[in-house]
Each structure stands twice: as C-alpha cells, then as structure tokens.
Structure 1
Amino acid sequence: MDGERLFCDVALAERIERAEARWVADCSDAARARRGDTVGFARPLAGGIASFAEADSPFDKVAGLGFEGVPDADALDEVERAFAELGAPVQIELCQLADPEVGAFLTDRGYRLESYENVLGRRLGDAVDEVSGDVRPCRDDELETWLAAVADASLVVDTEGLPSHEDFSRETLVTVLRDMAGVRRFLAERDGEFAGGASFRVTDGIAQFAGAATVPAHRRRGVQTALLRARLAAARAAGCDLAIVTTLLGTKSQQNAQRQGFDLLYARAILVKGTSATRSSGAESRQAS
C-alpha cells in the first residue's frame, strides 16, 4: 500500500465530481429506459447535472456543481420549476472545494443545509492486499438474489456514526440497485451463505464504489473488508488509478475504508429547497457494514 497520503486539490475534486455527475445522469437515464417513458430529466447545469429519475430516487438531485462558477439564476429557476412540477424538492450535493460563492448564492435562494457526506479516495498504483476466496463476481443468474439480499441488508442500518437524513423503502432499494448503470457486482459468502454484496463502476479511470451491504448475521466478520479488497483488485486490473467511496460521517463504513488505505478527501454539503423527501443519498455507509 502506498504510504503517502492522498492529497485532494481542486482539480482532483472536480474530476471526482464530474465522474459523480456522469454516473447520476446515466442512472437517471437507466430508470427511464426501464420504465419505457420520458418522465424526468438529466440536464446540464453549470458544469454539473440536474437529474430527476423517479419519485423518491437517490438520483433526484443536482451533482457536480460549483466548478464553473455560480449557476445562472434563470437556468436554476428552470431546474427548480422542473422539480416542483414533479412534486420533488431540489437537493444539491455541493463539494466543499467548489467555488465558495455558490454556497452563498444557494443560501440566498432559500436552500437549507440538511446533512453532509464524506468522499474518501485511494490510489491504485500499488498492489492491494490479498483477496479472500469467499468473494467473487456476481453471475448474471444471481442478480435477483443479489438485489434482494443487498436491499434487505441495507434496511438494517448500522447504529454507528451520524444517521442519514433520508431513507428507502425495500422496493425502492431494489429498483435503485438495479438501475445503477455500468456497475460490476460482487458477493461474499460465509459458511455457504450469502453474507454481503457490493459494486463499483469505472468512470474516466475512477472506480466508484457503492451499493455495499452485509447481512446482519454476518456483520463484524470482515465481510466488508473482503469486499473492499476484491473491488480494489478488480479496479486496479481495470486500469483505474483512483478508487473513491462516499460514506456518512463517523460510520463503520468510513472506518473500514480508512483501514483499507482510503483517505478522507472532502465533504459534500447536502442543501435542500422545497418539501423534504424520505430518500437515500446513495452513500455507501447507509449500507450496513
């Protein structure tokens, strides 16, 4: 493991946030493709993306904002109207390394701070730790089992750290996990049983980790550590130079990631305007460790 800490400057933060925006847009498009309609949108906004996938989806948000200056007021007016017409609040996830004028601009428009999430990263230039033989890629014929088990495990949240300000129903969780565009899924087994699952996606050389959960009966047995190592090895083999994971603050998921060499890069502020919704931010830490 590389002993040098990963430093995040504005350029690296912008690279990560643009990858996040691309993933949000692709997942939003996947939701419309699944339904076979054109309800919702994924439209550019000041270098980021404004997305509405469907009601109570974690892909209903504005991501990647703040690296091309303050958004045009008229353009943001249109985005806010589009969300309002669909009965949804506007949720903006703003990187702390974005243009500081953006936060003041949003506050003046009535956005309120609801929460934070952490973005952690790790270089992939060096070899990763040995991968457990109990972790393997999920086969196509195991997809439904993987979706159901990860959704069920995600509903039993870990009590460490700050809680999420959002939540999912089981049905929504399964749908969201299915719509995660371009991911590679892994599963872990213990004593012949499904113990946990996780996934990652590659965007511009960045391995984006998400969708991790451990079945409650198998927690505190190293399942998430094994899944992290397997994804790190797969991401390195895929030619990625960086792996990132988003967690809630002070959680077991954050601790597990830091034990595997991830450094805390920056936080995102979750700013909301409109009626609150019970949705998940998609942070890996809400998936139980």
Structure 2
Amino acid sequence: MDGERLFCDVGLARRIEHAEARFVGACCAAAQERLGDDAGFTRPLADGIASFAEAGSPFNKVAGLGFAGLPDVDELAGIEAAFAAVGAPVQVELSQLADPSVGAFLTARGYRLESYENVLGRRIGDGDSPGDVRACRDDELETWLAAVAEASAVADEQGLPSHEDFPRELLVNALRDMAGVRRYLAERDGSFAGGASFRVTGGIAQFTGAATMPAHRRRGVQTALLQARLAAAAEARCDIAVVTTQPGSKSHQNAQRQGFDLLYARAILVKGTSSTSSSGADSRQAS
C-alpha cells in the first residue's frame, strides 16, 4: 500500500543483496563484451558474487555475502589472488543485516572498514510521471552517457564524502555497461537537466544512478527523476523500489521525501590498495 512504511527483515535484505549481485554480474559481463577480452571475471562466493570488469571499474567488488554462511577459505583465497593478479583491491559490500560472523571473518583476514553506504526502499504505489521527464531514446544514448558522466563528476557537497572518485572515461564505461537498465532524462528550459536509470530484478526496481547538471541543482530535478522511475516501476509490476545513497547526502534526503525508508547500511570492507570501486547508485553520482 502506498504510504505504508517498509520494514526490512533478513529475508528482504537477502533478496535485495542477491538482486544487487545479479546486477553486478550482468554489468561485468557487459564490460567483457565491450572490451572483447577475457581479462574480467565473475566468480560465485557463498551465494554472492565476486566481479572484476576492468581496471578502476565501479563493478569491481564482492556483493551478496552474509546470507549463506561463511565463505569457503580456499575459494576466497582464490578470489583474492585473482584480484591481486590484476592489481586491484578486494572490496566487499556487506549488509548490516548479514550474518555478523562474516564481518569478523573478513577483518581477521585483513579487511579494513573504509566507508558506509545506505540502502533505502519503499513500496510501489500509484503515481504519475512528471511531464519534464521522459525515456531516453536509443539515438540519445551517447548524449545521455556524456551528460550524466559530466554531472556525476561534480559531486554534491552535502553529507559524508564518498570514498570513490572515478575518471570521466570510466564513468561513461560504467554507465554504458549497466545491463538491462531503463534510462530517463529530465529537461528544464529546453536543456538537459539530469539523467537517471533503473533496472527490474525479481520484482525489485533497482534505482541504478541519477545525476543533475550543476546549473539545475536544487530545482527539483532529482525528485522528478525519482517520481518518473517510481511510476515506471509500478507499470513494470515491481513491489518495491530500492536506492543506494551516501549517508546524509542530498540524494538520501530526496529519497526520504519520496517515501523511501532507511532499510540498512552496507559496510565497505577493503583488502589491498585503497579502492575506488562500487556500484552505480544514486548517491555516488551527483544530486
């Protein structure tokens, strides 16, 4: 029911985290197809996934752990060796609702806490799409990619700073590799004001990124993009929508204003060189 607060138990967290793992794996596969090589990899790990797309990619991570017991030591050692072989750290995104023994297991292996991110969600209800937001056409893809990457490169200053910093070329690659997403753009006074995307995975509308051009910030663009995706998610018969944000960010605030509840936090645990990898989510692009 629209307006009903969404409570997140372990079962719902498992569902969301496994959807995230599927998204990461699909994006890694898209990167491998784009690059035409076998440098990338995806490997299963304790009902989650370990993914390496390309050097510096936001999809270099381990996702979905914590809901099927401890990772196998030998399998994890092999994954750590695979990341080391390509000169990348291992970044694990671990849900607050995962088995606590997994966090203890990882820190004992030398993983350190680097950051947090918030996962918010809401039930899907009826809603209208704003008139100034529309679906991105196929012939507009390159323009959309360039504009969203440009907007994402200018971070919003509200909230905790992100530990991630991606060069523009990598942002464009990551946005292109987001498999199965639906892209939207917002216009103001005839100009591109912002872009956003979402993906449907098992009835979950995953809001996979949003960015507003600096000149159009604080004008309701991100709110309009949220509303448009909620309306599209209802048409796609999703039952919930989820979005990932930096704690205390403008994206976090805007999502709560649109009825999203804070479901849980993810701890970012890293082993190896300091990382810049994570998924393309709303907060990690500019508000």
Q: Which of the five TM-score ranges fits, normalised by the shorter chain?
A: over 0.9
Does residue 193 (structure 1) correspond to residue 182 (structure 2)? The answer is: no
Q: Hey, what does 1:127 align to over in structure 2?
A: 126
Give how far 1:100 is off: 0.7
CA deviations over 1:142-181 (Å, ceiling 9, x no partner) = 0000000000000110000001111100010011000000
SS at match of 2:33: helix
SS class of match (1:195): strand
Asked whether the 8 Å contact 1:214–1:224 carries over to 2, the reply is: yes
- In the alignment, the residues of structure 2 paired with residue 24 and residue 37 of structure 1 have an alpha-carbon distance, to the nearest angstrom, of 18
Q: Paired residue for 2:256?
A: 258
Distance in 1 between residues matched to 2:3 and 2:241, nearest whole Å: 16
1:249 aligned to 2:252?
Answer: no
Give 1:35-54 correspondences, 5 Å limit.
35-54=35-54
Aligned partner of 1:113 in structure 2 is 113
Residues 117, 178 of structure 1: alpha-carbon distance in 2 compared, 3 angstrom cutoff:
same
CA distances 1:84-141 after superposition (whole Å, capped 9, x unpaired)? 00100000000010111000000100000000000000111x212x322110000000
Per-residue CA deviation, residues 17-47 of structure 1 (Å, 9 max, x unaligned), is 0000000000000000001111121110001
Aligned-partner Cα distance in 2 for 1:82–1:208: 29
Structure 2: gaps (5+ residues): none
- Superposed, 1:1-289 pairs within 5 Å as 2-124=2-124, 126-128=125-127, 130-289=128-287
Tell me which moved more, 35-44 or 266-275: 35-44
CA RMSD, aligned part only? 1.0
Q: Shift of residue 280 of structure 1?
A: 4.8
Aligned mates of 2:40, 2:165 — CA distance in 1: 21
Measure how far apart 1:282 and its partner are: 2.7
Segments of 4+ moved more than 2 angstroms: 1-4, 277-283
Code of the aligned partner of 1:26: A
3-state DSSP class of the match of 1:197? strand
Give the aligned residue type for 1:194.
F
Q: CA 1:282–1:51 in structure 2 vs 1: closer, same or farther (change >3 Å)?
A: same
CA contact (8 A) 1:166 1:281 kept: no
Contact 1:168 1:280 survives alignment (8 Å) = no
Structure 2 counterpart SS, 1:62: strand
Q: Is the 8 A contact 1:63 1:94 kept in 2?
A: yes
Following superposition, the deviation at residue 3 of structure 1 comes to: 2.9
Superposed displacement of residue 277, structure 1:
3.0
Q: Is the 8 A contact 2:4 2:123 kept in 1?
A: no
**Structure 2 residue matching 1:164: 3-state secondary structure:** coil
Q: Which amino acid aligns with 1:88?
A: A
Distance 2:158 2:222 in 1: 15
Cα deviation, 1:171-217, whole Å, max 9, x if unaligned, reads 10011000000000000000000000000000000010022000110
Residue type of the partner of 2:227? R
Q: List per-residue Cα deviations over 1:206-258 (Å, max 9, x = no partner).
A: 01002200011011110000000000000110111110000010000000001
Q: Share of identical aligned residues, percent?
A: 77
In structure 2, the residue corresponding to 1:188 is in which secondary structure?
strand
Q: How far apart, CA to CA, are the structure 1 residues paired with 2:70 and 2:177? A: 31
Distance in 2, matches of 1:136 and 1:113, equals: 39
Q: How many angstroms apart in 2 are the aligned matches of 1:282 and 1:137?
A: 19
Structure 1 residue ranges without an equivalent (≥5) = none
- The 2-side partners of 1:40 and 1:192 are apart by 40
